[in-house]
A = this chain, B = another copy of it.
Amino acid sequence: MRAKLQKAGDPKARGAVTSIAVAEVARVSQSTVSLVLSGKAAGRVSTATKTLVEETARRLGYQPNVSAQALRTGAAKTLALAVPNVQQPFFGQIFVAAELKAREHDYAVILIDTTTDLLWAERLVGMIRSRLVSGCIVYANDARSDPTLTSVIGSVLFVEAEDPNKSGVDLNVSGAMRAVVEHLAGLGHQRIGYFAAEYPKAAYKRRFESFLSELNRMGLPHRAQWRTSATFELEAATRRAKEFLKNAPFTALFCDDDLLAGAAYRAARQLGIAIPAQLSIVGFNDIEIARLLDPELTTVAIPADVIGRTAVERLLLQLQRPVKPAGPAFVAELELRVRGSTAPPELQQV
């Protein structure tokens, strides 16, 4: 038995079971242990040896040191997921779906909140260059961060990107907007207001553009005064909605997000405007809030699970290629869920 000289001052005794320990106990070489446990034994290690090693590793409770693996292979099995706001249940859903798919491939996921961390892009670049993560999914990037990300662009997959051509995964926003406008027009609404999210995201800009072109297609008018915007901070959004809805000349209102729809409900309540009799409201996202509102909210559902899964799959594929393939984005279909907040415009407003 070889005595192990614990050199003073060296990293403290680790206690962990290493592949060398497994090799010693199994009386094989450490190479063999590595080959077997990383699944590369086929045709290179006899079945007997393979079984012995696996057995020994299990018995000793061996877990490969991921830092050593990452150092040697050059890539950590960790991904980052950057989302605008972790506190929104929708992004929680995205995370859960992404994490599940990542886990299938033995990857861990680090979550980045781009709203609370203004330097998120710089930090992400640092994470990639320091090899903390191998790649990142960026949900709804803002234009400001793009220059920062160019140096690591091959390791990034965008969802609902600023520039739609850059998206690895995208949403069929125009299809959804068509459904929204057709639904409202079908009920008899001629004037539709727009309550926009006050964030510099192309995702929101695109929704509005689709909205306008659908109105156009249907021959419906739109005025600048029929549109306002607010952040998702509930009190501020409610105040904004209240000014906006006072004497509003429209009979239906589209909201960029269910949270904004919630603020519109509160404003309507305070103003004594009945939903849907006096005002129809449509949201976007279909988070839990939609069904907690009274009446329940008609809204556009986004398949968070499909998006989260697909984004991870595509990112992992992309990381294997030498160069980023410029293939077309995966486009997720959205679904209008009609509930009680939309009805024909029975009572004309001012």
Contacts and interface: CB of A to CB of B under 8 A. Distances in A.
Interface of A: 11-12, 14, 16, 61, 63-68, 70-74, 76, 78, 85-89, 91-93, 95-96, 99-100, 103, 108-111, 113, 116-117, 123, 126-127, 129-132, 234-235, 259, 262, 265-266, 269, 288-289, 291-294
Contact of A259 (B113, B123, B288): B288
Given A66-B130, A72-B11, A129-B61, A269 B294 contact: yes
16 contacts: A12-B74, A61-B129, A66-B76, A67-B67, A67-B71, A71-B71, A86-B92, A87-B96, A92-B92, A99-B111, A99-B113, A100-B117, A110-B110, A110-B111, A262-B288, A292-B293
Contacts of A123: 103
Nearest to A72: B11
Contact of A289 (B78, B111, B117, B289): B289
B113 A110 contact: no
A78 B133 CA distance: 11
B234 A292 contact: yes
Nearest to A290: B234
A187 to B, nearest CB: 23
Contacts of A108: 110, 127, 132
Nearest to A125: B63
* 10 nearest A-B pairs in the assembled complex, by CB-CB distance: A87-B92, A67-B70, A67-B71, A63-B129, A63-B130, A262-B292, A86-B92, A67-B67, A87-B89, A66-B130
B11 A74 contact: yes
Contacts of A235: 291
A111 to B, nearest CB: 5
A92 B88 contact: yes
Contact of A95 (B65, B68, B86): B86
Contacts of A65: 71, 130-131
Nearest to A295: B269
A269 B88 CA distance: 26
Contacts of A262: 288, 292
B66 A132 contact: yes
B109 A14 contact: no
